[in-house]
Structure 1
Amino acid sequence: MILTEFDYARPAALDEALALLSATRGARVLAGGQSLLPDLRTGADSARLLVDIRQLAELRGSTRTPDGRHLRIGALTTLADLAADPLVLAEAPELAAAARANGDPQVRNLGTVGGNLAAAGRATDLPVAAVAADAVVELAGPGGRTGLPAEEFAAGAPPAGQILTALLVPAAGAAAAFEKSADRATRYPVCAAAVRITPDGPRIAVTGATPRPLRLRRVEDRLRGGPYATEAVLAAFRAEPRELFVPGRGTSAEYLGHLAGVLTARALQRAERALA
């Protein structure tokens, strides 16, 4: 199919972009376009106006917040830049690994942090890492900037008329990891797991095998204090209800629950080794 008819605007400032979104019903934000443009071409999505925000340099790159406790990652940062960023590699390695696992080099060179987080209906890699990291999604709208926990953001569609501007991620050092089993054709995760080991215990999130990126608090409770041996992690996952895992693409809920446990065990063990 060919693209349907729509208007196009390329604002030079964030305020201008927000004004365009507010003034036009059915306006959509264009950043990397790796999800939106194929959806417009197939008819899975529609738009009356594309607001191209790629000129907004303020939405690129990563820095420490003034208090040093968080990383602020701009929404237009490409997945390739995120995967190679020394600051992200040192303080949020699960996000760097999730970006590195996403698609192929062309997708990573064009795809953005904001687009990957906002790809509604797709099991992309970055949201599960953001949930495990206890990250906050920063949104800009007519009323100013607000923050939404990544777990809450992943549970629903991006708010209309707002632009995702940044991801705020607690700095954790090396105590985090990401593991993925990918569909060979699409590179989307059949299952992916992201973990952080904190003084309060592990933070564990899974996607692909579940309806959306989910933090598994009951698994965390069962593993609090360790050990993170594979059998202990698998036992913690076997105690989860099978309906938590959604079968599809030739897989059963039982298989996906086991796969999620295996990937989580690998991630926890990698995070432990990084701490040693």
Structure 2
Amino acid sequence: MILKEIHYIYHNELDAIYGSDEVDSFFYWLIEHYFQCNRLTLALEPQFALTKTEEQPLFEALSRLKNQEPIQHIIGETEFFGLPFKVNQHTLIPRPETEELVQWIIKCHSERSEESQLKILDIGTGTGCIAISLAKQLPKAQVFALDVSEEALKIAQQNAEINQVNVSFLKANILNKDESLSVLGDASKFDIIVSNPPYVRELEKQDMKKNVLDYEPDLALFVEDNNPLVFYEVITQLAVDKLKPNGQLFFEINQYLGAEMQQMVKAYPFEHIELRQDMFGNNRMLKAELQ
């Protein structure tokens, strides 16, 4: 079948679900992934044709997209901070807002000029996107990453190898502070602790799309309505023990709980607490320094 005809089928089947622009994005992403061709190929070679065998993955992807499965799961990878990352049903798909958090950490670090001594801990690492991006950008840093999911840690380790960085991955349940401290051991303390923990309240599920609710891990997303800061509180307590003096704590946060987050962190010996908005104007990041 001619590739342009398959492109038309995609629009016919998917525009009502996603809109024309997003369907184009999906289609070009898929042909780049499967055939190393792009939008220009369609323009310059309007009769570009595929065999039955070649076109099969495109129609399989079409069927999965109709069920609103994430495109990243279909091709098994995504890009974050300019780097390739494998993803699957055990990992949260990295978001652009988290790239802003990584950029903030790098900027703050560059102002400190301590790279040779820098030691970083990423809690709830998932794909490893934060830890690996920091390790890539700060190659002299010693980076550790912790997660409760064995399956997520397998993917994170693969991503570290793909991106040729050294990250020490650790398995522990952060809600068990004693377990986490035991896994981290008595090694020297950290300059930076960063976390993008579960923060979506159950009441917010009604506003979420099927591609997130049905295909991304609840473990990485949701918290109970009556205790939405549970992960932040435990991580903040651990940071009091494991950060160096003047060490920095960074969080990605629920946009609706910025004031509550600031108030919670103020209950501990932190100063210079800063709340920052993401590219969409939502309260999304928080930084604090240990006194």
TM-score, normalized by length of structure 1? Answer: 0.26
**Higher Cα Rg, which structure:** 2
- Higher percent of residues as helix: 2
TM-score, normalized by length of structure 2? Answer: 0.25
